[in-house]
Structure 1
C-alpha cells in the first residue's frame, strides 16, 4: 500500500487529492495547523469516518517554522510520495505581507527539501507552483520553457520554490518536480477568490438576500479550470518516470466579464443590472492575460481539463444556491 504525505490537506487541492489517493488505495498523512477546526474543514467528512481516520488517514499537528518536529513526523510516516500544497495563497495579500509570504512559501519548501534529502529513501516530491511565476510574460500561452518574471512577492516566492525543486533534482538527483498551476476552481474555494465571490453573490441576488456585486476590473483575463482535474494531474505527474515539471492549464482565456456573464445567465439575470465597479479592488500589478499551454502534460501524461469555464460557473452557482436553500 503506497504512502503519501500532503501539506495543505484541508485546502481545496489538498482535500481533493486526499480523496483521490484514498480511492487509489493509499495511506495518507497530512500536516494540519488547526486541529480544532478539522471537523468543519474540507476533509471533515473523512475525519468523521472511523473506518478511515486513524487507519488510512493520519493527521499530524505541525508548523513549517519547527523543522525538527517536521523531520520527526516525516521520518515516522516514511512516504513514497510527498505533495507540498500549503502556503499563503493570495498575490494581492503578498504585496502587504511580503516577508510572511516568502517565509511561508519559499523557506517552508527549502526546509522540506532538506528533510527529504536526508531520508534513506527519498519520496517523489511535488511542489504546487503557480502561473504567477511568469508575471507579465512576453508571449502567450506560456509553457515549461517560458522565462520566469514574477510581479508580486507571491510569484517570487513561488518561483523560489519551483527553482529549488529543479536544483534538488539536478544537484542531488532527488525525484522533485513542480506543477505550474493556472487558476482552478471548485465549490471548496474560499470566497476571497473571484469565482466563488461571483457565484455566492449570484445565488444571494437571485434569492433576494443581496442587491449588488462589487468587483474591480472586469477586463482582466484568466485561464480557469476545474480543481479535481488539476489534482488528478498532480498525481499523474508523480506516477511518471522520471518526474518532471508540467504546466497544468486549459489553454483558453476568459475575461472576468465573461465569467460574470456566465454566472448570471445561470439564474436568468442580466449582470449589468447588479454589478458595481470599485477601483480600490484593482491590483496595481495585475498580470497580463496568463494563459497556459498544457501540450506537454497532454502528450506525456494524457492529462487535460474536462470542465469548461461556463460549466464550471454553472456548478458553482448551483452549489451556492443549494447551500442557501
Structure 2
C-alpha cells in the first residue's frame, strides 16, 4: 500500500493524483463529519463535503477515466435530520439539522441528481451513493459519543475516572460496525450498474441504553454520578431518532450486518479497557 497526500479543496491536486494513480475505484470518505464541529466550521464543511465531491468527479473526467474509474460517495443518515418517516429509506425526504447534514445533502444531490442526469447518463460514469447510518469501531474518534462512552467506562472500571459528561441521553441511533459497512461499500462498487443504498442495521438504541450495555461489559451498573447530561454539549438543533431501512441493500446486494449492538459494544469496551491498562493517560 502506498499513501498519497491530497486535499478535497484543491482541484489541481486531485487531478494530479488521479492522473498519476489511474484508479479503478475511488471511495470518497473525506468529510468534515463531526456534527457539533460542523456548526462552528460551516463554510469549511460546505467546501469539503459538497464541492469536494464535484472536484473529484471533474478530476475523473479531466483525466479521461470516466469509463474506467468507479466512484463511491459516502453520504450520511444525518441527511434525514428531523425525520419525516420511520424507518428511513432511499425514498425518505431529507430534513438535515446540522451543517454536516445540510452539505452532505448537497453532495448527495450532486451525485444522485447531477450524476444521474449528466455523469451517469451523458458520460456513462459509474457513480453510486451509500447513505450510511452510524458505524462504529474501536478506532472511532475520541470525541464521538460511542467512543467517549467506551473510553469513560474503561477508565471508571479501572478507577481512573469518576464520571463522564454527555449531551442528550435520550437520542436514538441505528449503530452498526464499520467492518460491515465497508463491506457494503465494496459490494455497491461491484454491481454492473450504479445505484444508491441505505446501509443500516434496522435497529435503534438510545445513548442511555448504549451506556448501560457498556457498563454491563465490565460487570457494573450505572449509578448516580457516573453519567451526567450537560446542556452545553447539546447540539443547537437535535436529531431525536435515526433508524434505517436497508431492505434494498439486503435484496439487491445480498448484504446483511454481521454485528449487532451488543457485539459492537463488547468489542469497543474490551479494546478501550486494554488501551487504558496499557496507557492510563490515553
Q: Which residue of 1 aligns with 2:24?
A: 80
**Cα distance in 1, alignment partners of residues 171 and 162 from structure 2:** 24
Q: Which residue of the other structure, out of 99, 103, 123, is the alignment partner of 1:157?
A: 103
**Cα distance in 2, alignment partners of residues 291 and 64 from structure 1:** 30
Q: Which residue of the other structure, out of 233, 237, 240, is the alignment partner of 1:288?
A: 240
> What's the secondary structure of 1:322's corresponding residue?
helix
**Cα distance in 2, alignment partners of residues 102 and 163 from structure 1:** 13
Q: Counterparts in 2 of 1:132-281, with a 5 A limit? A: 132-166=78-112, 167-173=114-120, 174-273=125-224, 274-281=226-233
Q: Counterparts in 2 of 1:44-59, with a 5 A limit? A: 57-59=1-3
Q: Which residue of 2 aligns with 1:103?
A: 47
1:132-171 per-position Cα deviation (integer Å, ceiling 9, x unaligned): 1111121110101111221111111111111111212321
Contact kept in structure 1, 2:15 and 2:62, CA below 8 Å: no
Deviation at 1:257, TM superposition (A): 0.7
**Cα distance in 2, alignment partners of residues 185 and 212 from structure 1:** 22
TM-score by length of 1: 0.80
**Cα distance in 2, alignment partners of residues 186 and 210 from structure 1:** 22
Contact kept in structure 2, 1:162 and 1:177, CA below 8 Å: no
Deviation at 1:64, TM superposition (A): 2.2
5+ long unaligned stretches in structure 1: 1-56
**Cα distance in 1, alignment partners of residues 64 and 263 from structure 2:** 46
**Cα distance in 1, alignment partners of residues 65 and 88 from structure 2:** 34
- Name which structure has the greater RCO, CA cutoff 8 Å, separation 6+: 2
**Cα distance in 1, alignment partners of residues 228 and 95 from structure 2:** 32
Contact kept in structure 2, 1:169 and 1:175, CA below 8 Å: no
Q: Which residue of 2 aligns with 1:321?
A: 273
**Cα distance in 1, alignment partners of residues 272 and 107 from structure 2:** 34
**Cα distance in 1, alignment partners of residues 93 and 7 from structure 2:** 32
5+ long unaligned stretches in structure 2: 278-282
TM-score by length of 2: 0.92
Deviation at 1:63, TM superposition (A): 1.9
1:14-52 per-position Cα deviation (integer Å, ceiling 9, x unaligned): xxxxxxxxxxxxxxxxxxxxxxxxxxxxxxxxxxxxxxx
Say whether 1:89 aligns with 2:89. Answer: no
Deviation at 1:288, TM superposition (A): 2.9
Structure 1 stretch displaced more, 79-88 or 264-273: 264-273
Count of residues in correspondence between the two structures = 269
> What's the secondary structure of 2:4's corresponding residue?
strand
